[in-house]
Amino acid sequence: MITGIDHIVIAVNDLDTAIETYTNLGFTVVEGGKHPTGSYNALIGFDDGAYIEILAFYEEAPDHPWWDLLHQRGGGLIDFCMVTDDIRGDHAKMRELGVDMSDIVDLSRKRPDGYLLEWINNKTYDEYQGVIPFIIEDKTPREERVPKETDHANGVTGIHTMTFAVADFDIPQEIMGAMLGEPESVTYDDIKASGLRFTIGGHNLEYLAPDDESSPLHDHIENNKPVPYRVSFKTTGDTGTFDPSDTEGVHITLV
C-alpha cells in the first residue's frame, strides 16, 4: 500500500550551483552521493519524512530515464516517488491498470561517507511519467537514505501539495483513484484551473487542467515541460512564493 510521498525530483545542469541556490532560499542542503548510473544528487530532508532530491549528472548518461527531461525539456521539477510497504503488490496493480513502466530493479547510491544505500524501484514512461509516481522500497534502512538534517532557516517542515498540469483527468482519475481512493474537486481562480485532489500520508496531490488558454497551465502543457507544475511546502516561517528564476525553474510556495 502506498503511504505518502517519498521524495520529489528536481533536475539541474550544475549541482553545486543548485546547492547554493537552495541554501540561499533557506533550505538545509546535504550532499547525497553518486549513483552508478551517471547521476549524483543533493538532498533536502523534512520533518514529515519526505525530501527533495536535486539531481544532476557527473558524466554523459543518455540512457538514463531523466537525461532527456533535463537536456531536452529543461529540467526543473520532473518526477516524484511514493513510498510503499508492498512494492510488488502495488507494482502489479499499476500494471494491471495499464501504466507503462519498467520492471522493479535494484538500485544504489554511495553516500559521501562511503555508506552504500540500496533499494528497489521502478520508472514510469511516456504519458505516465511525471503524472503517476514511481514507487520505492528500501533494502538498507530508509533512515540511512533520508537526510537527517531537517531544520531549515525558512521554517519548512514538509510537503503540503504537489500540483500537476494535465490536459484531462482520465489517467489520474483511473490510476490514482484506484491506488489512493476517491479525490475531491478543487478550483483555483488565480491560475484559472480546476481538477482533482488526492490526500495520502499528510500530502496532497492535485491534478489540474487549465480552464482556458489564459491559464499558465495551458502554456506549461503546450511547451512540453515536465507535467509536475508546482510544489507547496508547510512552513513555520514566512509564507510566500518564490520566483522560478530563483529556484532552478521550479514553482515553489510556502504555506
Q: Is residue 150 part of a domain?
A: no
Same domain, 219 and 250: yes
Same domain, 71 and 125: yes
Q: Is residue 76 part of a domain?
A: yes
pLDDT of residue 189: 97
- Residues facing residue 45 across a β-bridge: 51
User: How does DSSP assign 69-110, residue by residue?
Assistant: HHHTT--EEEEEEEEES-HHHHHHHHHHTT--BPPPEEEEEE
Residue 82 pLDDT greater than 90, yes or no: yes
Domain that holds residue 82: 2-145
- Strands of 240-242's sheet, edge to edge? 184-188, 193-200, 203-210, 156-165, 228-235, 251-254, 240-242
Q: Of 95, 126, 145, which one is at a domain's C-terminal end? A: 145
pLDDT in tens, 24-42: 999 999 999 999 999 999 9
- Residues facing residue 101 across a β-bridge: 124
187: which 3 cell numbers? 478550483
Q: Is residue 237 part of a domain?
A: yes
Same domain, 114 and 139: yes
Same domain, 171 and 49: no
Same domain, 49 and 112: yes
Q: Is residue 64 part of a domain?
A: yes
Same domain, 8 and 116: yes
Q: What pTM did the predictor assign?
A: 0.97
Q: Domain count of the chain?
A: 2
Q: Of 145, 175, 195, which one is at a domain's C-terminal end? A: 145
pLDDT of residue 158: 98
Same domain, 76 and 168: no
Report, as an integer, the average pLDDT of 233-242: 98
pLDDT of residue 229: 96
Same domain, 131 and 185: no
Find the CATH number of the domain harbouring 87.
3.10.180.10
Q: Is residue 16 part of a domain?
A: yes
| pLDDT range class, residue 226, cuts 50, 70, 90 | confident
Report, as an integer, the average pLDDT of 208-225: 94
Q: Is residue 130 part of a domain?
A: yes
Residue 224 pLDDT greater than 90, yes or no: no
pLDDT of residue 38: 97
Residue 81 pLDDT greater than 90, yes or no: yes
The answer to whether residues 157 and 235 touch, using CB atoms and an 8 Å cutoff, is: yes
Q: Is residue 83 part of a domain?
A: yes
Residue 86 pLDDT greater than 90, yes or no: yes
Same domain, 53 and 160: no
Same domain, 126 and 238: no
Same domain, 160 and 238: yes
pLDDT in tens, 56-73: 999 999 999 999 999 998
Q: Is residue 151 part of a domain?
A: no
Residue type, 117: L
Same domain, 125 and 202: no
pLDDT of residue 215: 97
Q: Of 145, 173, 193, which one is at a domain's C-terminal end? A: 145
Report, as an integer, the average pLDDT of 90-95: 98
